[in-house]
Amino acid sequence: MHLKKHLLIATALFLSAAPQSLAQNNNNAALTKQFREAFESGCNQGQTPGVKSQKKYCTCLANSYQARYSGVELSAISQLAGQTGQQGSTLVNIMMSPEARACSSKN
């Protein structure tokens, strides 16, 4: 339960940090970079229970997002989750929970 709560907070921090112009940029590499920077910044502000290195954990999660979704997809997910509020963040955390568990066990 603590892991889900922390992921919810990290996702919310990312969503609040994501610029509105993110979806307007059609450059996949730029979208991916913007997502990654905002996500890691938000994630690194927290402390995940049972994780020794928050920085490595956040990098692992960012790598997982990047491996699973394109920059355009990350932008769309971010915008839709942001519009939906808390429920959007919860849905994204559920979608990424296998990766979060794997990252938690590694770090």
Report whether 53 contacts 107 (CB < 8 A).
Answer: yes
Q: What is the pLDDT of residues 8-49, one digit of tens each?
A: 555 655 555 455 444 454 588 899 999 999 889 988 998 888
Report whether 52 contacts 23 (CB < 8 A).
Answer: no
Q: What is the pLDDT of residues 69-103, one digit of tens each?
A: 999 999 888 888 888 888 888 888 898 999 999 99
Separation of alpha carbons 77 and 103, rounded Å: 21
